[in-house]
Amino acid sequence: MDNSLRERISILPEMMDLLNQQIKQEQLASSSYLAMAAWCDQNGFSNSAKLFYDQSKEEREHMMKLFGYITNNGGAAISPSVEPVNHSFLSLRDVFESALNMEIDVTKKIHTLMSTARKLEDYNTELCLQWFVHEQMEEEQFFRDIIQMIELMGDSPLQLIDDRIKRENH
């Protein structure tokens, strides 16, 4: 390996493997949100469907952010295979609770990545991950607020809840 190539490979292999696993998680989140959007569309909740289509797109952007980070640091980013995701939900509330649970799971994984980056004294990756830590905080709060709103609206017609979701999302 010549020196110019060596200088371009700055990402640690251990960190790269973990970031590739996270790429898979973000892809899984994107696919899961697409399934949630489809369920909402099929059940007449068009505002919630739009919210989940947007979320799906955002998760793909998260995946590409990590993908770009690995390649820009001379690593080998791996295009993830698409895993099967859940398409059946009991209710609109169940969809949003599943979304929140998924985000809580992603947050845990991001925190584990962050502590590994710190252990390895990989400050570049730590900086990259800080964006994700903040994003996860916002996403969890976003879904908690919607679930709380659904709880407060109690037995209101589901279509009213869906209309309210449109307003919350703007």
Q: Which residue has the tokens 């919630």?
A: 48
Query: Taking the complex as a whole, how short is the minimal distance between the CB of residue 9 and ligand FEO, in angstroms?
Result: 26
Nearest distance from residue 130's CB to ligand FEO, in Å?
14
Between 126 and 139, CB nearer to ligand FEO = 139
Which chain residues interact with ligand FEO by CB under 6 A?
26, 29, 59, 62, 103, 106, 139
77-102 as b/e, with b when 16 or more CB fall inside 10 Å? beebeeeeeeeebeebeebbbbbbeb
Residue 170, exposed/middle/buried by CB under 10 A (0-12, 13-18, 19+)?
A: exposed
* Min CB(61)–ligand FEO separation in Å: 8
Given a contact cutoff of 8 angstroms between Cβ atoms, the answer to whether 114 and 70 are in contact is no
Q: For ligand FEO, give the closer residue by CB, 133 or 158.
A: 133
- Smallest gap from Cβ 106 to ligand FEO, in A, equals 4
State which residue has the least CB distance to ligand FEO: 62
Q: How far is the CB of 29 from ligand FEO (least distance, A)?
A: 5
Which CB, 97 or 163, lies closer to ligand FEO?
97
- The radius of gyration of the chain from alpha carbons, rounded to an integer in Å, stands at 18
**Helices 46-72 & 13-42 angle (0-180, nearest 10):** 170
